[in-house]
Amino acid sequence: MKTICKLSLLAMVLTFVVSCADGPRYANRAEKIMAEMNNPASDYVLVACHRGDWRNYPENSIPAIESVIRMGADIVELDVKMTKDSVIVLSHDRNVRRCTNWKGEHGSGVDKLTLDEIKALKLKRAHGVTTDSLRMPTLEEAFLVCKDRILINIDQGFQYYDLIMPVAEKVGITRQLLIKGGSAVDYVNAKMNQYPEKMMYMPIVSPKKDSCRALKSFIEAGKANPADKPIAYELCYGKECSPADYQEAVDLVREAGSRAWVNTLWASLSGLGYDDDAAFDAFQKTGSPAPVYGEILKTGVSMIQTDRPELLLNYLRSVGRHD
């Protein structure tokens, strides 16, 4: 808890006024990112970091979040689960076997353990080495670190919407939250509209699978009620998706006045067969990841979730797309 308090103090100290000579002024960096998010016509490309900086720190950990904030990323993607005593914590897996020093044989599910039991476990780095002192954070602890500094994409979390909202309201971070899911449009809007201030919502759609039906249903709902218009769409594709399918979906999203989000985590998700490893290979061979990231930008995508945030950020800055 002392560590979290120190990080919260650091977050407040680092709150600043973002300004330019003739441009708008913002109270903090999160406000600037929000302004870009709400301007889909902007050339600015938002960078989302998958589970934080997991190459250097345990995934979904506080240091992994801090690292991408220092890099200047716009969004940190975090996975959530609920403990036995109904506390939301950061974990991608349903159990603690892979990411902690759990030694038991049974009962390793996050939902089978209390928060105290989970806090007794030490987090592991990506290569399996146990850390000395890092523990699985609660969602509230992550919120305190991110407040006013970076947006949060909550993954695997829509089922916990009613549990997350009180925590978000307590910290005062609701407007910085982008929650995503694959639920039907009527269910999503009915749930979110129960709250006077709601999170941003991003549907996950697979156009080849459903011929863009899910995508179009959210677009039509947004036209009928602008308050229900998704701020972005996550476009997920399998290998069967053609470049034409991909481009059709991006065009539909842009015409609807939203941003198109693509994952470069691995090739089968990007729609064009491009991923971060291909970008890194291109960088090693040519000194630039442009053969991958540049081609993605040509489609009109303006949000990229990556496992190599530093590589992507440096490229976007070099071409004037992340100033």
Instruction: Name the token pair of 318.
Output: 């070099």
> Rg (Cα) of the chain, in Å, rounded?
19
For residue 225, CA distances in Å to 23, 84, 268, 277 come to 31, 38, 34, 40
Tell me, what's the pLDDT at 268?
A: 78
Residue pair 205/235 in contact (Cβ under 8 Å)? The answer is: yes
Instruction: Quote the pLDDT of residue 271.
Output: 65
DSSP 97-126: TTTB----SS--BGGGS-HHHHHTSPBB-T
Paired sense of beta strands 88-90 and 151-155, if any: unpaired
Q: List % helix, strand, coil for the chain (3-state, nearest 5).
A: 45, 15, 40
DSSP H stretches of helix in 172-289: 185-192, 207-210, 213-224, 243-255, 267-270, 276-286
Question: What pTM does this model have?
Answer: 0.91
DSSP letter for 291, please: H
Contact 158, 203 (CB under 8 A): no
Which pLDDT score is estimated for 182? 86
Q: Is residue 25 within a helix (H) or strand (E), and if so which, with residue range?
A: none
| Interatomic CA distance for residues 323 and 200, integer angstroms | 24
Residue 8's pLDDT is 45
| Amino acid identity at 56 | N
Domains of the chain: 1-14+24-181 (3.20.20.190)
Per-residue pLDDT of the chain (323 residues; tens, 9 = 90+): 555 545 444 444 444 444 444 567 899 999 999 999 999 999 999 999 999 999 999 999 999 999 999 999 999 999 999 999 999 999 999 999 999 999 987 789 999 999 999 999 999 999 899 999 999 999 999 999 999 999 999 999 999 999 999 999 999 999 999 999 988 899 999 999 999 999 999 999 886 666 678 899 999 999 999 999 999 999 987 667 788 888 999 999 999 999 999 999 988 787 677 899 999 999 999 999 999 999 999 999 999 999 999 999 999 999 999 98
> What b/e string do you get for 192-224 counting C-beta neighbours within 10 Å, with b at 16 or more?
beeeeebbbbbbbbbbbeeebebbbbbbebbee
State how beta strands 151-155 and 75-82 pair.
parallel
AA identity, residue 222: G
Six-digit token string for 260: 């198109």
| DSSP secondary structure letter of residue 176 | G
Distance CA 88, CA 163 (A): 8
